[in-house]
Structure 1
Amino acid sequence: MTALATDPTWLAERRDAARTELETLELPTFRGTAGWEFTEIPELDLDAYPLAGGDADASGVAEGAPRVFDHLPEGTKRLTQVDGTIVEAADSVDTEGPIVLPLAVAAERHADLVEPYLGRIETQRTPFTARNDRDWTGGFFVYVPRNVHLDAPVLLTLVQSQAGTTAAPRTLIVLEEGAQAEVWSQAVSADPTLDALVNGVVELHVGANARLRFVDVQDLSERTWIFGAQRATIDRDGWIDWITLGLGSAKGKVFQETSLDGPGAHGRVTGGYATHGKQHLDFDTLQTHAAENTTSDLAFRGILADKSHAVWRGMIKVDEGAQQTDAFQESRNLLLTRKAHADAIPGLEIAANDVRCTHAAAIAQIDPEQLFYLRSRGLPVGRAKRLVIEGFLAELVTRFEEGPVREALGEVLQRRLEAVLD
């Protein structure tokens, strides 16, 4: 178990500033705050979910907690946090090599690597991000120096175990010029009925000509709130492959931005969700093109059952100087029941005149003609529906690179499909 770090002066000042800022910030209101037109949270009392403290049996909780990923590539380096306690830390080999540390420890030991990025990538200021600034403990920090390539993934795990509390995870990943890394992140609840709240912030920086694959999956209790602000900045000729899956939680909203800041930068974002019961998931994505010759490709795909509701709102924003931008976004949803509901709202905000930007959105139920075709070949109705749904998800899986990532996420989606169809 990792000893608690002491906040350096600059970090303590950040926390104090957030504490003061919170006095002026109000919770967003339904249709009264931009971006919150589809998610109502009048029943949410943030103060009713105090920050989770340490756990004397954190190691035991981590050992018995469910996992999103059943099989990990050989050599995977792990960092695990239970509520506010780091229980498994993979320290750096030396000060000049890759660093995988609790963020609080890194802020003390490697302030020169943390301070330039922490809070400077994430730009939203809401009661949720300010609370995270004030409250986060432990946290995750991954740093890959210039031209260093990691041979195996880094696995970051958050386990929430204390009912009626808030987990405030904070992740900062920095790749210097020419670096390459793959980071998998999973958030789970120790108990499938846990009533709690997760309020997280993720900051990613991809340097010039660097390559990052970031896989982020939440499979929290379906009685847990989730709120998140996630943002990546990509420098000249940098590349990010960002995969995000929303499986669990009861209700919440996650903002996700990919900012292409340097010429030749590329961002690929793949999102998926599978909801049932009365789950409500709201994804708000932004592809920002701030430099010329940048490309982005975003695709979200979801299946919805029972009375669940999903929202995807996407925006492609092209700055005035970002000529020769090539951007695409799509959202496709398959409704398995008549009471399931999805909203898909693509958008464009273009200030340049030499660009190619396209979008697509679709919401549909299972095609009766597809069912008829399969049943006419002897398949029972249940099996026919299952094949149609699996075919719909297969188009999402093909966006994952062949190898460990595709295999792992394919297994994750299959397990979730079983839960949704049960």
Structure 2
Amino acid sequence: MASAAAARGTEPSWLSDRRRRAAEAAAQLPLPDSKTPGWEFTDLSGLDFERYELPAVDAAAAASPIPLFDALPEGLELACVDGQWRAHGGEAPGGALLLPLEEAIERIPSVVERNLGSIVAVDDPFVARNELAWRHGAVVYVPEGVRVSLPLVVRAGLCGEHLQLPWRTLIVLERGAQAEVFEEYLGPLGEAGEGVDALLNAVVEIVVGEGASLTYVCGQRLSERSWGFATQRARVARDGRLDWVVLGFGGANGKFRTETQLVGENAWARVTGAYAGRARQHLDFDTTQEHAAPHTTSDLAFRGILSDRATAVWRGMIRVDPGAQRTDAFQESRNLLLSRNAHADAIPGLEIEANDVRCTHAAAVAQIDREQLFYLRAHGVPEAAARRLVIEGFLQELVERFPEGEVHDTLSAALERRLVELLGS
């Protein structure tokens, strides 16, 4: 497979060289199995990449799926459905850009060549396949010192039966820049078990420059018959700040990897994750907080709710490199099971190679607290309403990590809609 630009012979030589290396890697790197570290809980025996076709260049796109983040104020939007562009982004005040990746290669070639592939290496079968096959993607570029006041929104829809979307996102904030980026991967809405059988294979690279500040909210609501994979990695420079929100509601199976690397002193990252599964969905999240410089801080909190026979696994790692003294890192994963048939695994981990650090973790999997239900029912709250109040309180802790504003409201609204799907109105 090759990109549309490559087929026309218009790709720059540096990208064509990368495609060739990716083809070699893809041929040599097998897909993971149950013996592959990190994949013990996610069964890929039914995955066949060859079953899924890239959208035809001239194909008519399906109707645009309903957005997950539909209450944002007006901003710049870039949207692609089944390989067809619906919105092309543009330029924000101050010169910040939100562009299709193929357009960014022509408009800001040095930025793309310097940064694309600098964060995520082609040493993984999913990344190699993405690098080889991507036709579409998004670039967010915020020049030095520019502060973007409006939201930058990226929407990638996958609505066709047996289609695959190898999607690529590159976000670059230069020194002192500031922005809020909302990215979502969408499929057609439907009842549990409905939708299309499709495949998302995304790679996201985030570069946060010195003193820059990025809020990145990424959610997936794919069809609940689809495969969903994403390799997402951020690098935060000295005095940089990254506030990252991860939402996982759709998909039948797959894995999302979220990795932050703090490479400069006083770099800071906060990762907030929420997932909610039903029917026989399997949700898999793999997170890494890597501290590669002294005086860095990371804070990760995930919450999951599972109903019916849904399953989930969260595997987290705090890694402190040699010399990264005065690291302050925390991670936790808490899961609420709404059914006796639902199941969750929470696996925190530490790899510490410095001796002056503060690193802690916590994990829990539990049913709804019967004492809380009893208390509410004793005060006249009907059982269904009492269950909902307990669940809402469990998730509200995530929302309260943010002050009133766009991120707070977006996260709250997305969680509320997913609860309606799981519990009814």
TM range (shorter): over 0.9
Correspondence for 2:257: 255
Correspondence for 1:79: 78
Structure-2 separation of matches of 1:188 and 1:379 = 36
Correspondence for 1:345: 347
Give 1:337's aligned amino acid.
Answer: S
Give 1:82's aligned amino acid.
Answer: V
Q: Does 1:28 align with 2:32?
A: yes
Structure-2 separation of matches of 1:401 and 1:229 = 28
1:14 to 18, 28, 40: 18
Correspondence for 2:297: 295
User: What's the CA shift string for 1:351-403, capped at 9, x where partnerless?
Assistant: 00000000000111011111111111111111111111111011111113311
Give secondary structure in 1 for the equivalent of 2:415: helix
Give 1:69's aligned amino acid.
Answer: F
* Cα deviation, residue 241, structure 1: 0.1
TM-score normalised by the chain length of structure 1: 0.95
Contact 1:236 1:263 in 2 (8 A): yes
Q: Does 1:330 align with 2:323?
A: no
Give secondary structure in 1 for the equivalent of 2:20: helix
Contact 1:139 1:171 in 2 (8 A): yes
TM-score normalised by the chain length of structure 2: 0.95
2:52 to 49, 71, 88: 49
Give secondary structure in 2 for the equivalent of 1:278: coil
Could you list the runs of 5+ residues in structure 1 that have no partner in the other structure? none
* Cα deviation, residue 93, structure 1: 6.4
Percent of aligned pairs with the same amino acid: 54
Contact 2:243 2:270 in 1 (8 A): yes
* Cα deviation, residue 133, structure 1: 0.1
1:38 to 33, 41, 46: 41
Structure-2 separation of matches of 1:275 and 1:311 = 11
Q: Does 1:92 align with 2:91?
A: yes
Structure-1 separation of matches of 2:189 and 2:423 = 21
Structure-1 separation of matches of 2:188 and 2:135 = 19
Correspondence for 1:359: 361
Correspondence for 1:236: 238
Over the aligned positions, Cα root-mean-square deviation in angstroms equals 1.4
Structure-2 separation of matches of 1:196 and 1:158 = 13
Could you list the runs of 5+ residues in structure 2 that have no partner in the other structure? none
Alignment of 1:110-121 (within 5 A): 110-121=108-119
User: What's the CA shift string for 1:97-125, capped at 9, x where partnerless?
Assistant: 21111111111222100111111101362
Contact 1:105 1:138 in 2 (8 A): no
Give 2:397's aligned amino acid.
Answer: E
Give secondary structure in 1 for the equivalent of 2:361: strand
Distance 1:190 1:378, change over 3 A: closer
* Cα deviation, residue 61, structure 1: 2.5
Structure-1 separation of matches of 2:21 and 2:241 = 33
* Cα deviation, residue 161, structure 1: 2.1
Give secondary structure in 2 for the equivalent of 1:203: strand
